[in-house]
Chain A
Amino acid sequence: MKVLVPVKRVVDYNIKPRVAADGSGVETQGVKMSMNPFDEIALEEALRLREKGQADEVVAVTIGAQVAQDVLRTAMAMGADRAILIQTDAEVEPRAVSSLLKAVVEKEQPGLVSMGKQAIDDDMNATGQMLAARLGWPQGTFASKVEIADGRVEVAREVDGGTETVSLSLPAVITADLRLNEPRYASLPNIMKARKKPLETIEAGSLGVDLTPHLKIVSVAEPPERKAGVIVETVEELVEKLKTEAKVI
């Protein structure tokens, strides 16, 4: 079975995002970029399936400009066998991304798509569900455990108030949540090896997908700042202030 792992290049999660002065978005020029952390987890899960003998090939795919190749090299350094760049300079939203990925799925015919539950830039949490819908495949979102047996996959899902387990026929789409696994680091020898792994580039325009956004960003602003308050010395003082000043207890 082949596993397709869509990955996204995003502002590194340790960087505090800065809103552009003209309110058009968040600064990405000259900012450290990395693979979306949830995608690393999704990739790790695919690699573990291969190591268990349940998958025979792991293919990473990303959508973006030429520079997005770096996250594909990272994916291959972690262990993906090969990678595909769907090249476009356009800003693409989950609607277009899921259409492009559908075209890749039709070409590659994976038995499983393993992807992050959301990207930490637009926080949309939508692409996996939309891809599954377009393919007519079942979906296991917010996965904390994945087990493949007898042509089906059992997915434990993180839901409000607990864990829900669903059984899905394959092929299926899985979106990874935090607790699914802890991704490995790419070792230096593997980073070197990844340079020689195959990376295919496909022009987004050749896939016949309408990339026009349906959601226009009108403006982006800083959230209102909270002001720092006062330091209290004793718990008695704290309780007194909560009672009489803040009136919350």
Chain B
Amino acid sequence: MTALVLIEAENGRIRQGSRSAVAAASRFGDVDALLLGKAGTEAASKLPGIRKVLHVPALDHALAEPAAALLASLAESYSHILSAASSTGKNILPRLAGLLDAQPISDVVAIKDDATFVRPIYAGNALATVQSSDSIKIMTVRSSSFDPVEEEGGSAPIDVLDAPADDGKSSFVKLEQSQSDRPELEVARVVISGGKGLKDASNFHTLLEPVADKLGAAIGASRAAVDSGFAPNEMQVGQTGKVVAPELYIATGLSGAIQHLAGMKDSRVIVAINIDPEAPIFKVADYGMVGDLFELLPALEKAL
């Protein structure tokens, strides 16, 4: 059996989620990688355990329409087609499944055998074991559930492919990147998150950033904080945002709604700081502090 992994490059490196998907794919047999766009060719060929890299430089913005069409034209040679459960993977792979009349398997967290997988449902409140009868299995995998392959060690040959003809139905307009010197939420070793208890957007900066700076942490937010306009949506941790599993997760001023817990409960160590001793977040926290975060966060920053 051979698997194909749609990989994503960023700043000349292969994203961690893609490297986790390669690790997952290696359970099925040989692994080929598909890279869209001009960047990241060298990094892709250095990934360990890759048979060959299929490179489509013309598909720079990875639009779903041409990307899925291209994948469909390659699909016959593969038993499994995977990607990270990233916004790119979730955009393209289900479209591919539609073209192939297959049922995609989203957010895989465990592989039981070549056709049997585990995935969370109901915002992580239940885990479903599912078995696919499709001849080509199409799946996105959660990066927090598979240790990524190293960035270097391989030297796979590169096949350059042409993009499918452009039908003009979709075009890229622009990408506005959020500016940040911090680690990406999904790969950070430490995450500190704020909820509605932060009271406004400026407190996200003045209270969370100094602690995050000391710890080299990414900053997250609860859905309630995002909905209140305290933080942008890309900072949202939870079932409707990002799923993270850092070494250390510090939850401040958030109660621990079901949908938030789904996005962080697999963190190795959880710290909760909240004024309400009854907040559900304390039920999952390894270390809890009851008190006013407007005093505790500056004190924590000093103590670090």
Please tell me if the beta carbons of B132 and A218 are within 8 angstroms of each other in the complex: no
Residues of B within 8 A of A162 (CB): 175-178, 234
| CB proximity of A176 to chain B, nearest CB, Å | 12
- Contacts known (A216-B133, A230-B287); A223 close to B87, Cβ less than 8 A: no
- Contacts known (A123-B123, A236-B303); A218 close to B234, Cβ less than 8 A: no
A222 within 8 A of B: yes
Residues of B within 8 A of A165 (CB): 172-176
B268 within 8 A of A: yes
Mask: chain B, 60-74; 1 = CB below 8 Å from A; 0 = not: 010111001000000
Mask: chain A, 12-33; 1 = CB below 8 Å from B; 0 = not: 0100110100000010000000
Contact residues on B (Cβ < 8 Å of other chain), bracket = 35 or more
Residues of B within 8 A of A19 (CB): 125-126
Q: Which of B25-33, B36-44, B50-58, B96-104 is found at the contact surface with chain A?
A: B96-104
Please tell me if the beta carbons of A141 and B122 are within 8 angstroms of each other in the complex: no
Most chain A CB atoms below 10 A, which of B94, B287, B290: B94
- Complex Cα distance, B177 from A223, in Å, reads 35
A-side interface mostly? mixed
Please tell me if the beta carbons of A249 and B190 are within 8 angstroms of each other in the complex: yes
Mask: chain B, 176-192; 1 = CB below 8 Å from A; 0 = not: 11100000101000100
Residues of B within 8 A of A (CB): 10, 61, 63-65, 68, 86-88, 90-92, 94-99, 101-107, 116, 120-134, 168-178, 184, 186, 190, 215, 223, 226-227, 233-234, 236, 239-240, 247-248, 258-259, 265, 268-271, 282-290, 296, 299-300, 302-304
30 examples of A-B residue contacts, CB within 8 angstroms: A11-B122, A16-B125, A26-B125, A26-B126, A123-B106, A124-B104, A124-B106, A126-B97, A126-B104, A132-B64, A134-B98, A134-B99, A139-B95, A142-B87, A154-B173, A161-B184, A168-B170, A215-B105, A216-B130, A220-B127, A223-B127, A228-B284, A229-B270, A232-B287, A235-B302, A242-B248, A242-B287, A248-B190, A248-B248, A248-B269
